Structure 1
């Protein structure tokens, strides 16, 4: 059994995960709870969100689940204010929400394009806007934006999603420069093909797995917990001088 790092600087620190009910988000919630952080998470999936909160209720620090449709910017920022009122100033923000729905170039409409960006890119900006003042006044913090190696690989089959994930890198670089004087760090995490329940159910095939293992330098499937451990480091004071960077975790596929 492997022993992983504990980060004393995360104990008692308020961490908010946007899109935390399932997949990588749920792993993030569990990881930060395990560090003794004061954790809140937002998600539109009320059933999964309540189940996760109940599962972790008896842990060291029970997480707070706030149902929210993050496509609604007013609702998103209201939910963030609710978390701040209940737990205190947010010092760690993890922008994790995403949907990698497959779509063909010829089938994309202005409406479907905007719908995709309303989940995959827009919340990253407006959640940052909502936490900035309190984070600055609290002495700074860490914002972690979940991108993807899909834009580095130029993967086909979901151009709107890949565009959003590339946009997150530009947003991260810009915000890191703007917020640096306020001691707010902004970094991006670029996971590869992570074996969440959704990926296994919808996309993983024997052929796809064989091809993935051929492409990765490390011949091991990536688990959501692997991504969460990288996020812990970027959230903790151990990474205090790291900002504006893109951190790829894909087993050496890129």
Structure 2
């Protein structure tokens, strides 16, 4: 099935975190195929380099930088390097995160800080890094990836859920802070997205059947489904939308 094309994304500089696999890989591929200049970071160097090489061979403009997003100075430096290469970012997709399972009774202050760094802190400092360039360019779009996990009371990941719930608050706050410079800030909230990692670590056939039973729509939410919503939020088609959260979850019945 042919998908939407967004002319306003052509030649626009896009920065994506966690772009080497899963939802992030789908984001990189979809933005590249819109004609955007895509820069992405990830700690998975081999995967990131392979993806960038493959897309460049297809004729797309893609740059990968191996980077640990929990190292704020290194991440902001990588964003600056991408701006030197592609121009000031007009789109930032804060995607990187990690839903590591944990028992709340065993959480230490050190673990808490580490999980917040992986799932929340880098969103803010990436925004801080790109906002001046977006202002110079006349505006832009920031897309923060959340999660329905805290909405549906998923067990076994309370620190992750806390970080993901906070992302919506950050989105609302920064939409107000940056709106005067024509910078839109929205949250994209995936449901149970079927990635290779989820299949390998968590999703059994029984889990998949249970998920489909809780969705209003038949079928599975795939990484491309999230990427297509991100394209809309990045494009000028959504120019008057900010401070909102958009759920891509198959119509899950939330409490």
Shorter-chain TM-score: which interval?
over 0.9
Q: 1:105 maps to which residue? A: 104
Q: How far apart, in 2, do the equivalents of 1:9 and 1:86 lie?
A: 20
Matches within 5 A, 1:97-176: 97-176=96-175
The corresponding residue for 2:71 is 72
- 1:34 paired residue number: 33
Task: Decide whether the 8 Å contact of 1:95 with 1:124 is kept in 2.
Answer: yes
**TM-score normalised by length of structure 2:** 0.98
The 8 Å contact of residues 33 and 59 in structure 1, kept in 2 or not, is answered as no
User: 3-state DSSP class of the match of 1:214?
Assistant: helix
CA drift at 1:62: 3.0
Would the aligned equivalents of 2:93 and 2:143 in 1 still touch at CA under 8 Å?
Answer: yes
The runs of 5 or more residues in structure 1 that have no matched partner are none
Determine if contact 1:6/1:35 at 8 Å carries over to the other structure: yes
Partner Cα separation in structure 2 for residue 61 and residue 55 of structure 1: 9
Task: Report the CA distance between 1:213 and its aligned residue.
Answer: 1.1
Residues 56-85 of structure 1 show CA distances to partners (whole Å, capped at 9, x for unaligned) of 122232310011011110001100000001
Moved over 3 A (4+): none
- CA distance in 2 between partners of 1:196 and 1:63 (Å): 22
Q: Does 1:190 align with 2:193?
A: no
Deviation at 1:236, TM superposition (A): 0.1
> Which structure 2 residue ranges, 5 or more long, are not aligned?
none
CA–CA separation in structure 1 for the residues paired with 2:9 and 2:207: 38
**CA displacement, residues 120-150 of structure 1 (integer Å, 9 cap, x when unaligned):** 0000000000011111010000000000111
Cα distance in 1 for partners of 2:205, 2:33 equals 34
Q: What secondary structure is seen at the aligned counterpart in 1 of 2:57? A: coil
Partner of 1:86: 85
Contact 1:33–1:60 (Cα < 8 Å) also in 2 = no
Task: Give the deviation of 1:151 after TM superposition.
Answer: 1.4
1:179, 1:6 → 2: CA distance? 27
Aligned residue pair count: 253
- Aligned counterpart, 1:206: 205
How far residue 54 of structure 1 moved from its aligned partner, in angstroms, is: 1.4
